[in-house]
Amino acid sequence: MSPAAQRPAPAKKPVDRTHFLYIAVIAAVVLGVVVGLVFPGKEGFAASLKPVGDAFVALIKMMIAPVIFCTIVLGIGSIAKAATVGKVGGLALAYFMAMSTFALGIGLVVGNIVHPGEGLDLADATYEAAESKDTTEFLLGIIPKTMLSSLTSGEILQTLFVALLVGFALQRMGRTGAMLLEFIRQAQALVFRILIMIMWLAPIGAFGAIAAVVGATGWQAVLSLGTLMLAFYATCIVFIVVVLGTLLKAVSGVNIFKLMKYLGREYLIIVSTSSSEAALPRLIAKMEHLGVSKPVVGVTVPTGYSFNLDGTAIYLTMASLFIATAMGTPLGLGEQIGLLVFMVIASKGAAGVTGAGLATLAGGLQAHAPQLVGGVSFIVGIDRFMSEARALTNFTGNAVATVLMGTWTKEIDRSRVDEVLSGQLPFDETTMLAEHGHGGDTAEGSPVQGAGQKVPAGV
pLDDT, tens digit, for every residue of 244-285?
999 999 999 999 999 999 998 888 777 755 555 557 778 888
d(CA 363, CA 373): 8
Please give the tally of structural domains in the chain. Answer: 1
121 occurs within a structural domain: yes
One-letter amino acid of 186: Q
Contacts of 270 (CB under 8 A, 6+ apart): 276, 279, 388, 391, 392, 395, 457
Q: Which domain holds residue 236?
A: 17-445
Q: pLDDT value at position 18?
A: 61
d(CA 194, CA 94): 33
140 occurs within a structural domain: yes
Helix (H, G, I), strand (E, B) or coil at 276: coil
Q: pLDDT value at position 132?
A: 41
Closest to 31 (Cα-Cα) out of 217, 216, 199, 212: 212
d(CA 82, CA 89): 5
d(CA 319, CA 377): 11
Q: pLDDT value at position 8?
A: 53
CATH at residue 170: 1.10.3860
Q: pLDDT value at position 448?
A: 36
450 occurs within a structural domain: no
d(CA 431, CA 279): 14
Q: Are the C-beta atoms of 372 and 324 separated by less than 8 Å? A: yes
Tens of pLDDT, residue by residue over 288-333, are 899 998 888 877 887 787 677 788 888 888 888 888 887 777 777 7
Q: Which residues pair with 292 in a beta bridge?
A: 412
d(CA 145, CA 214): 42
d(CA 361, CA 287): 32
User: 20: how many CB neighbours lie within 10 A of its CB?
Assistant: 12
Helix (H, G, I), strand (E, B) or coil at 412: strand
**pLDDT < 50 stretches in the chain:** 125-134, 352-353, 433-459
302 occurs within a structural domain: yes
198 occurs within a structural domain: yes
One-letter amino acid of 271: V
Q: pLDDT value at position 107?
A: 86
140 exposure class (CB count in 10 Å sphere: 0-12, 13-18, 19+):
exposed
Tens of pLDDT, residue by residue over 55-67, are 887 787 787 788 7
d(CA 78, CA 85): 11
296 occurs within a structural domain: yes
Helix (H, G, I), strand (E, B) or coil at 275: strand
Strands (E), 86-165: none
Q: pLDDT value at position 400?
A: 95
Contacts of 332 (CB under 8 A, 6+ apart): none
Compute CA 381 distance to the chain's CA centroid, rounded to the nearest angstrom.
16
8 occurs within a structural domain: no
d(CA 242, CA 70): 35
Handedness of CA 173, 174, 177, 181 (dihedral sign): positive
Closest to 315 (Cα-Cα) out of 345, 342, 347: 347
First and final CA of the chain: distance in angstroms?
A: 50
d(CA 78, CA 76): 5
d(CA 448, CA 459): 13
CA dihedral 94, 97, 102, 105 (to 10 degrees): -150
Q: pLDDT value at position 227?
A: 83
110 occurs within a structural domain: yes
